[in-house]
Amino acid sequence: MPKTYVTSAAAPTTGFTDLQKPPPIAQAIRFGNMLFVSGQGPLDPATKTVVEGDIEVQTRRTLDNLLSVLDAGGATLANVVNMRVILRDVADFPHFNEVFRTYFEHERVTRTCVGGTPHRKGVNVEIDCVAMFD
């Protein structure tokens, strides 16, 4: 069974260290009935620069980017079964979680949220996920 690369023009591809070279990762890969979405951050899709703002602004941009990739893969939040979240500052968790809650008002997922240092300066949140299809 071959894997299929999924790309959304409405979300930036991350993972690059040199803007002159293509990134070494896919936004998402569909394999069988699973969709694996690479970590998304608070990057403006047009400029690929970090959006300015607090953790709430960055969380919204990050989740909107994630939703764009899910959509390109034929999925919605209803398909998401697992998410991983990295917060630069764990003190941001309550504000992050309130924004997260608004996106998952009618859905539930498993989630791990840890403190860490995202790879890009100014990025205060990064989220990846796994989605399943019937």
Q: Kindly report the CATH number assigned to the domain that includes residue 23.
A: 3.30.1330.40
pLDDT per residue over 81-116, tens digit each?
A: 999 999 999 999 999 999 999 999 888 999 999 999
The answer to whether residues 85 and 113 touch, using CB atoms and an 8 Å cutoff, is yes
- Please give the Cα distance from 113 to 100 (Å, whole number): 12
Triad 16, 112, 7: Cα angle to 5° = 35
Quick one: pLDDT at residue 101? 96
Domain interval for residue 62? 4-132
**Which of the four pLDDT bands, split at 50, 70 and 90, describes residue 27?**
very high
* Residue 29: φ, ψ to 5°: -130, 130
Report the mean per-residue pLDDT for the chain. Answer: 93
**Which of the four pLDDT bands, split at 50, 70 and 90, describes residue 15?**
low
CA distances (Å), 61 to each of 12, 21, 32, 54, 123, in order? 11, 24, 29, 11, 11
Whole-structure pTM value: 0.93
- Ranges 2-6, 14-18, 41-45, 75-79: which has the least confidence: 14-18
Q: What's the structural domain count of the chain?
A: 1
- Please give the Cα distance from 64 to 70 (Å, whole number): 10
Exposure string over 64-98, b if 16+ CB within 10 A, otherwise e: ebbbbbbebbebebebbeebebbbbeeebeeebee
> What value does the mean pLDDT take over residues 20-34?
89
- Ranges 29-38, 45-54, 74-83: which has the least confidence: 45-54
